Structure formats: C-alpha cells, structure tokens
Amino acid sequence: MGKKRKNRPHFVINSSRQRRLVLGLSLLIGLLSGLAAVLLKNTVHYTNDLITNGFEFGRENYLYLAFPLIGIAITVVFASKIIRDNIGHGVSKILYAISRKNGKIEPHNMYSSMVGSTFTVAFGGSVGLEAPIVLTGSSIGSYFGQLFHLDRKTLMILIGCGASGAIAGIFKAPIAAVVFSLEVLMLDLTMIALIPLLISAATGASVAFFLMGSGVLFSFDVSTGFVLAHLPYYMGLGILTGFVSLYFNQATMYIESRIKKIADKKYSVLLGGILLGMLIFIFPALYGEGYEFLMEVINDKADGLINESLFGEHTQAGYLILMLFLILIFKVLAMAITNGSGGVGGIFAPSLFMGGIFGMVYAKVINLLPFGQLPVKNMALVGMAGVMAGVMHAPLTGIFLIAEFTGGYELFTPLIITATISYLTIVMFEPHSIYTKRLAERGELLTHDKDKSVLSLMKMKSLIETNFRTIGVDATLGDLVNEIAQSERNVVPVVNEENTFFGLVFVNDIRNIMFKPELYETTLVSELMYMPDSFVHPNDPMEVVAQKFQDSEHYNLPVLDEGRYLGFVSRARVFSSYRNLLKEFSDE
C-alpha cells in the first residue's frame, strides 16, 4: 500500500508570528509590483521609440496603418502559441480568481500580461497598461500566498497587496492604489487587510519615485480651486460623464462581443488591426495610451489632433471642439477593437483619456457662451474622475487618483460632487461595472454582500449526495419495500435503465400500505410516485439553489442533468457548508 497523502497545513492570521509573515510578504510584493510597473512603463516607452524611430504624423505616417496589426498579431501568437491561455481583461481575471478559484491565479500571469501589453500598446493599441500590471501584481501576491500555503482570506489580502503596489508604482498614487483594491477588487475594509495594503502601496510608489523621479503622470498647477458659483456646472458634468461612461461600457461590450463571434482568429486579428490602423491614421491621438496627447491638449497644444495631411490645418475654436468630440467617440471604438481582436490592455487609461477630453469639451462649449468662465484644466481633471467613477463603478478611486495627480486637494470638493453624481447616474441604467458585468451575468461574482459572496464560493457539485437507493419505474410495491429496507433515506427516486428521472416516492406517503403483503404484486411504483415541483441542475449557482429551497420548503431536491438523475442536494448539507464557509470568510 502507498503512503497516505497528508494535507498541507494552512496558516491563518491568528498570531503575531503569522501577522509578521504577512507584513513581510506585503513589503516584498509591493517591491516586486512596483518594479514590474516601472519595467513595463519603460519597456513600452523604449519599444515605441524603437519602432517609430522619430516618425511624425506627416507623409510618412502610412507606417502607422500597419503598426497596430503587427502588435496585435504578435500578441495573439504569444498568447495562443507560447502561453496557451487568454491573457486579456486583467482585472476581470482577478475578480474571477477571487470569486471562483479561491484566489489562485496562474503563475504565467506574473509576466505574460506584461509581454502582451508591451507589444499591443507600443505598436499603437488604444488601451492602457494599468490592467496588465494590476494582473501582474495580483499574480505575484497569489504566488506567494500559495507558496506559504496561506488560507483563502489571507490570499485575498496578498492579491490586493499586489494590485495596490502595481497601481501605486504606475501612477505614484499610493492612496488611490489602496482605495482601488478595496473598491474594485471588493476586499473587506478591516485593519487586518488595510495595513498590508498600505505597506505595499507605499513600497510600490517609493520604487517608482526612486527609479523614475518625482514627476507624476499628470502634473498640473491648479490655479483656480473650488468656486461655489461653479457648483451647478460640476453637477452637470457629473450627470454627463455618467452618460459618457454608459456609452463607454455598452459600446465596449457590444463591439468586443461582435468581434469575438468571428470564428477564425486570423480574420478577427486582420479586421481589428486594419480598422484600428485606419482610425489611428485619421486621428493620431488614438495611438497608444494617449496620456501625452491628453497633457498637450489640456495645455492648449493641439498638435497631432488629426492627420493634417488629410484635413489641412484648422485653428478655429469650433473646429477644435468638433475634433475633440470625434476623438471622444472613436476612442471607445479603438479600445474595444484592440481588446476584441486579441490585444492586451485595460480600460483605465481610456477612461481617464475620455474623461479629460470630455471635461475640456464641456468647459470650452460653456465658455463660448456670454456668461461662460470655467477653468478648462480643472474641468478636464474633474471629468477624468467622473468617467472613471462611472466606467469602473469606483468613485473613490477616481476622486483620490485625480487628487494625487494634482498634488493637492484644492479640487477635492468638485471631484467628490462630479464622481458621485456620475456613479449615481450610471447605476440607474447599469448595475455592474465593465469589470464585473460578464461575471455577474454568469453568477461568478464575489461581492461585498457576505451572504451572496459565501453562496458564490460554494460548489454545487461537491454537495450532491448519491446514497439514495433508486427503484425502477416498472417495479412493484414489493420491490419498493425491499429497497426501503436497505436504504438510509426516506426518499426513493424512480428511474429507468438509462437513469432517466420519473419521480419520487416519499416513504411517509406509503407507510399505511407498506405492511400489506397482499398489495405487493398488484401495486406498481408508477402509481405511488410523484413528480417534485422543484429540482436543480448541477451547474446552478448556489444562490439559485438556496432560493429553490426557500420557495419549495423541501429538505431534499433532486439533481437532474437533462432529465438524468444524478443524486440529491439536501438543505442540511447546504446549510452546514454555508456555515463553515461563512466562518472562514468572516474576520471574527
């Protein structure tokens, strides 16, 4: 006989030694995540410089028609032939791992999303680097959690540490990084979780400051703080950015779904690359993340707004507003085409880009009116927070990120007003963020609601009980009595030779005739059985199963797969499993 396999122990944070381990790991994870963020940012920058070789959008910009196709093609080959996994939609992948895989993220994600996003973005893919680096950081956290065999709750904290370190490293915004992990990754706000997140965020930001200097992604002097007279305009900006966010989310989901319906991947890559190249050829501002263009246009430098060789040079204010509005519309198309055709990137940068552009358009249109005197820079910055709050359903992340961009809190009040109203506007039409919509539709989303979260963690297939003795549909009462005598349960499922389910016999229903031998041969099981009013499928979410128990008031429900009997799920076992998971999930 072989040796009995021992279960590996799981450590939990219930002693000072184990807490020190987690704090030490949070420091290490923050360091590695920050380094990964710096590495990715610099790699994309120098790769872009290498391939463009100083080309400008003049006559020689025909090369830019081909760059997006080349980048997406390389990314797809890398993902499908080398990694052999889908490496896109980084934040959604993290949420899926938290909700369905107990926080276990594939180790290749520690580098694969960085490689994929480098080729995608450096060659012009109109997406951001934040989601790939968040997935990288979270994968690092998951790796160390699994390496030390930590329990699920602690593993979630380390995943959040990786995300916080990565966001802090790429934006140099540690507070926003911590808020992102709490708000978007839906970690519980407890001191046990908060301290490691703060350590990782501070470490990631420190690494970025040390290696890339003190400059931040956006550095603006906010000359005009909050003016009370501008309050209605900030409220209006909040409502409008909510609708911009709704367009962002719905257009993205629709375009990506349409591209993914193309059966042959080669054609989707070809179509996506060509369409993206054409959009970038017309609107150079759509190339890559778009941060440099955004800073230039906010500072009244509209160079590269469109391909001037096609449209000529125009400086009129109305023409500028029209071009910015078109870029706003086409940015979503370019982003969705990039991701849908196989590119790797996130929606973080596009949401900031669109928010800044829309804030500028909003301010410039109002300033054309006789009474308009809005600060364009401030409106652009606040617009970023508004669109981010709506797209990601994360108002706090938007508020603190822009506050850290500006190096102060002069705009804190308008940021709160606009981000909150934007969020309240979009949730009236779309209850889920762009990150969570697909997961929520499949019932695979972990939420802040502990009851729903625990139910989502329960596995239906592990709860199926098979110790019920079955009886044939053509059997007699005598056969049934013999089965009942050998059974441990008071319910007997009725099936045929193919295990097709026909009904149930409840022992209490036939107790009055069980001891009448004269009926054993004349009474058939088909006369005694009944079809239950409720049953479950093995792939049903546990929330649905719990609701069926509540509606039917049965203690056992049959599990059927296309009419075939698989077993039963019992109320007692579901409740017992629920209590055990709730105890593990709780912080007490």
Sheet with 491-495, side-by-side order of all strands: 471-472, 491-495, 501-506
Measured in residues, the chain has a length of 588
pLDDT tens track for 357-392: 999 999 999 988 888 788 888 899 999 999 999 999
Question: Alpha-carbon distance 113 to 384, whole Å?
Answer: 25
Residue 244 CA, distance from chain mean position? 20
pLDDT band at 455 (very low <50, low <70, confident <90, very high): low
Mean pLDDT value across residues 334-345: 93
- HSE-CB at 407 with a 13 A cutoff on CA atoms is 10
Q: Please provide the average confidence, as pLDDT, over all residues in the chain.
A: 84
Q: Which two tokens stand for residue 492?
A: 């007997």
pLDDT tens track for 531-575: 888 888 888 777 777 778 777 777 888 888 888 888 888 887 777
Mean pLDDT value across residues 30-34: 96
Let me know the angle formed at the C-alpha of 510 by 505 and 515, rounded to the nearest 5 degrees: 130
Question: Alpha-carbon distance 549 to 461, whole Å?
Answer: 16
pLDDT score, position 1:
37
For every residue of 62-98, which 3-state class applies, written as one string?
A: HHHHCHHHHHHHHHHHHHHHHHCCCCCCHHHHHHHHH
3-state percent helix, strand, coil for the chain, nearest multiple of 5: 65, 5, 30
User: What are the angstrom distances between the C-alpha of 172 and each of 115, 175, 176, 460?
Assistant: 22, 9, 9, 43
β-bridge pairing 471-472 and 564-570:
unpaired
pLDDT score, position 119:
94
Question: Alpha-carbon distance 143 to 132, whole Å?
Answer: 16
Question: Alpha-carbon distance 206 to 320, whole Å?
Answer: 39
For residue 455, give the nearest of 583, 543, 571, 540 by alpha carbon.
543
User: Alpha helices of 172-307 — where are they, by DSSP H?
Assistant: 174-183, 191-212, 231-260, 265-282, 291-298
Residue 427 CA, distance from chain mean position? 17
pLDDT tens track for 56-83: 544 456 777 888 999 999 999 999 999 9
Question: Alpha-carbon distance 342 to 254, whole Å?
Answer: 15
Amino acid at 118: T
Other beta carbons less than 10 A from residue 284's beta carbon: 22
Domains plus CATH for the chain?
16-212 (1.10.3080.10), 228-452 (1.10.3080.10), 454-585 (3.10.580.10)
pLDDT score, position 5:
42
Q: Which residue has the tokens 């980084």?
A: 90
DSSP category for residue 500: B
Question: Alpha-carbon distance 153 to 375, whole Å?
Answer: 46
Which of residues 581 and 89 earns the better pLDDT score? 89
- The packing angle between helices 542-552 and 571-585, to 10°, is 130
Which of residues 344 and 319 earns the better pLDDT score? 344
Mean pLDDT value across residues 251-267: 89
Torsion angles phi and psi, residue 446, rounded to 5: -85, 135
Other beta carbons less than 10 A from residue 199's beta carbon: 24
pLDDT score, position 254:
92
Other beta carbons less than 10 A from residue 122's beta carbon: 22
How many secondary structure helices (H) and strands (E) does the chain include? 23, 5
In the chain, what is the greatest distance between 2 CA atoms, to the nearest angstrom?
102
* Sequence-ordered list of residues with C-beta below 8 angstroms from that of 462, at least 6 positions apart, any chain: 577
